[in-house]
Each structure stands twice: as structure tokens, then as C-alpha cells.
Amino acid sequence: MRACFVTGTDTEIGKTLVSSALLHLLGQSGARTLGIKPIASGAVDVEGRLHNEDVDALARHSSLRPNPETLTPYLFKPAAAPHILAEQTGIELDPTLIKTTVQTAAEQADYAIVEGVGGFMLPLGQGRTGVDLAQALQLPVVLVVGLRLGALNHALLTAQAIRASGLNLLGWVANHMAPSMSYAQENLQTLHDYLPGPCLGVIPRLNATTLDDRIQQAAHHLRSPWEEKD
């Protein structure tokens, strides 16, 4: 089983788009794929069960379909920082529990994509951040960089934090966020020059109206993080 941890330079930067697109890409060969988002906030109640858009997208583009509750041990209804919601409900976001959840769920998968929450260093409470979660999982990291003003600083700081945590940067994906960005190609070249690890793809502004169609479009602009090893 091959697995990676997908993080981003910020929240709402395209982690779910990239994670789902990688699942779509890897599943085209007939591989058993599984997307896992252990922590999610922002959900609606549908027939007595909470649904989160990111979690549901990962499930739709996975070939394996375990019980959804086993994939997201921490799912909160309000759309807010998870550590605040956890504190309000008197629970602890436990990286060790998440590690066990991921390992158990991914046992039958050829490829597992684990999507983080927010940016790489989002607080998780108890003095922990997303770094502690990534270190507990001990998975190589795929970094999603949102191409917009400020992207260079955010990308280099995040890559530095990944390296400092002792984790391997498996690769990075650039995702065009702004309708127009001055010197977009020059910024992209700077990322190539400064970021360690290979570029796994550059996703342009996508014109599809539905998330699933955008995911399929994005998959055409990505390559497998394990392509050279497959």
C-alpha cells in the first residue's frame, strides 16, 4: 500500500480537489483507492447523518467504500477551526487515534490519500498543530500551493516546516486560484526553482460547474506521486 498526506499553504486552497483528482487518476488503472479526511468541519444533517462536502467528494472518487464514520473520527457541524469546536464539545483531537484510524481503513487499499485540515500548521488544541498529525502518520507529504498573491512566501514557509518536521516532501501541486494573477508564470518558475521535490502538476482555472467535473478536469493535469516508482 502506498499513501501520502495532502496538505496546503492555507485553507480553501484546493486540497480536496487535488486529493480527489489523484484518487480519480490512480483509480483509472483499476487500483484500489481510498481517500481519508480524519478531521472535517462544516457539515449538514441528511437523514440523521452528517455530510461534509470534502469527505463526500473523497468517497465518490475512491474505489473502496468503507463505512464513512470509520474514515472521519472528528466531524463537526459548524464551519470553524476544529480545535475550537473540539474544545467546546470537550473532546481531544488525538493524532494517535487518527493514525490507528488511517492504518485500519487503508489496509485493503493499493493507494491511500489522507487529506489534512486547513494549512500544515493549523492548531489542533492541546498545544498540537497539523505538524503533530503529519508526524504521527509518518507519510510523505504532497503540498498544494494556491497560486495567488502571497503564494511564494506561504509555499516556502510550508515547505520549510515540512522539512523541519522530518517528513519527506513527495511533491507539490500548483493550483491557480485567482481569476488573473500578475506574473503567474514567473511565480510558477520561482516555485520550481525554490521548492524541493517534483512538481506533480499545475491546475489551471477550471470552468466546470460541478465539483466532480472539476475533479475530473484536474486529474488531467496531474501525475501520480509514485509514477517513476510504479
Which residues on neighbouring strands pair with residue 169, listed in sequence order?
Answer: 141
Q: At what angle do helices 211-219 and 15-27 cross, to 10 degrees?
A: 60
| Burial class of 189 by CB neighbour count within 10 A (0 to 12, 13 to 18, 19+) | exposed
Q: CA 87 from chain center: how many Å?
A: 24
CA distances from 180 to 38, 79, 148, 219 (A): 33, 28, 9, 22
What residues form the annotated binding site for ATP?
12-17, 54, 115-118, 175-176, 204-206
What residues form the annotated binding site for substrate?
41
What residues form the annotated binding site for Mg(2+)?
16, 54, 115
Q: Which of 7, 3, 24, 5 is nearest to 211 (CA)?
A: 24
- Sole residue written with cell 494549512: 119
- Sole residue written with cell 459548524: 78
229 classed as catalytic: no
Q: Which of 64, 194, 82 is nearest to 128 (CA)?
A: 82
Report the distance separating Cα 81 and Cα 86, nearest Å: 9
In the set 37, 77, 99, 229, the catalytic residue is 37
Report the distance separating Cα 67 and Cα 13, nearest Å: 27
- Which residues does the annotation mark as catalytic? 37
